[in-house]
Amino acid sequence: AMYYIVNSSKGVSSVFLAKWIGVTQKTAWKLGHAVREMMDPGVEGEPILSGTVELDEKYFGGKPRHKVGVRYKSGKGTKKQPVLVAVKRHGPVRSALIDSDKSAELRPWVERFVQKDAHLMTDENHSYRKIGQQYASHQWVKHAMEEFARGDVHNNTAESFSSLLERAKVGVFHYMSTKHLKRYLNEIGFRWDHRTSVDKVTKKGKRKTIMVPLPVMDMFRSLIVNAIGRQLRWKNNGGISQLQIAAAQV
């Protein structure tokens, strides 16, 4: 199960995982979440982002059923679950479930994820302007005016991570409950972090930096290290819960 999940590009559904390893779908579902729990670096394993760091919010949820003559709100105007994304260019990503895009909600997460000497890149959300005053610099683009990049100023890398979440939901899992969404974020983030940058020359002779996955065994080693002290168990109602194991027991 660990091999199939780590070696996939967007994840593996519990239905296919069950077929491949010869267990029930219910067992494969629990195994999948156990592997995703191992993909969480935890507070101690989270490198603080530095350099150029992009911030963005992703509103996660399904599309409303179509009704003639009804226009639905999008983004922050909905009841969808907001997710904060912080990513270093050509580097690791960190994400968190948040309650809103207000500065009081975003500030603790940004301070946890990003070093104060970093250069922030965001959209025009005013909450980031208050937070950005604590950092080396803060620049933003105005998406409302169809400005998505101004030279090196953009948050397209953060939006790329958000698009991976959407592709995993639409193409693989089809549904991610808010209760377990953090584990799915762990999986996409683990796969993102275990890449390396490679310089490539295009057919037109231009130099381009692309990100390629690390060897599967390197990712496997990182996964096994995070297994220590983590357990998921079935609950009486058929759900799952994480057991907190003391360091002395480990």
193 CB-near residues (< 8 Å, 6+ apart)? 92, 93
Q: State the maximum Cα–Cα separation within the chain, in Å, rounded to a whole number.
A: 61
Distance CA 24, CA 19 (A): 8
Q: Read off the amino acid at residue 92.
A: P
Its sign, for the CA torsion 208, 195, 6, 50, is negative
**Nearest-5° Cα angle at 110, 105 to 116:** 140
Q: Is 0.85 topped by the overall pTM?
A: yes
Helix, strand, coil tally for the chain in percent (to 5): 40, 25, 35
Contact 36, 11 (CB under 8 A): no
pLDDT in tens, 173-207: 988 889 999 999 999 999 999 998 888 888 888 88
pLDDT in tens, 91-129: 999 999 999 999 999 999 999 999 999 999 999 999 999
Confidence of residue 247 (pLDDT cuts 50, 70, 90): very low
